[in-house]
Amino acid sequence: MVEELLKYNNSLTSYSRFNTREVNIGSVPLGGKNPIRIQSMTTTDTMNTIATVEQTIRMVESGCEYVRITAPSINEAKNLQNIKNELRKRGYIVPLIADIHFTPNAAEVAARIVEKVRVNPGNYIDKKKFNIIEYTDEQYNEEVERIYERFSPLVKICKEYGTAMRVGTNHGSLSDRIMSRYGDTPLGMVESALEFVRICEDLNYRDIVLSMKASNTQV
């Protein structure tokens, strides 16, 4: 057990930072030898430009280095441009991050505007429908190919516009396909993210940030 843990830690008793590659997010790089960054998320209606701008400014003045804004539909994604313009008008250049769920079209709009987009592999293309409980290898591979076709346009846009991407896996939103193959496990969370990472690497796009979270700490 200890030997397994030491694959990912230099020591079990003292802090040692894991060396990662640097990712540029606007003018505030993340990873590498950079300090740990502070990010928070707005709670305003994204369509309310002024309220979102003013809350963003309050967060920046409190120490936030990145601000995440929800963009659940194309309308909110488009309004990110108005928010960004107003912030720049007021002298704030904080990198903005679009939080995307369920709507690839919104992500493709947002990626042309903000400095980073966040997608969740569990609900970006796959859905938690449980229409199929057991996938054959052929069915599974067909779904992976479908993901490639639907996800690759976003990757190409991010690459063209210099936009970073966060692939954020949530334990509670793993797709039925991942659940059928890996179950309710950490391995399922990892594989869910790696499917997207492999597509990014295949398209020679590496401005990727990975995150994983689970509300069930026993899993």
**What is the spatial distance between Cα 157 and Cα 121, in angstroms, rounded to a whole number?**
18
Which of 94, 28, 102, 93 minimizes the C-alpha distance to 70?
102
Give the mean model confidence (pLDDT) for residues 41-45: 97
| pLDDT at position 123 | 83
What's the predicted TM-score (pTM) here?
0.89
Q: Does residue 216 surpass a pLDDT of 80? A: no
Q: In the CATH hierarchy, which fold is given to the domain comprising 25-213?
A: TIM Barrel (3.20.20)
Q: Is the dihedral of CA 82, 153, 124, 103 positive or negative?
A: positive
Residue 84 in contact with residue 110, Cβ under 8 Å? no
CB atoms within 10 A of CB 126: 22
| pLDDT at position 170 | 85
| pLDDT at position 5 | 60
* Domain boundary assignment for the chain: 25-213
Give the mean model confidence (pLDDT) for residues 121-150: 79
Distance set, CA 202 to CA 21, 48, 199 (Å): 18, 38, 5
**Nearest-5° Cα angle at 61, 57 to 64:** 85
- At 89-102, the pLDDT tens digits run 999 999 999 999 88
| pLDDT at position 8 | 67
| pLDDT at position 171 | 83
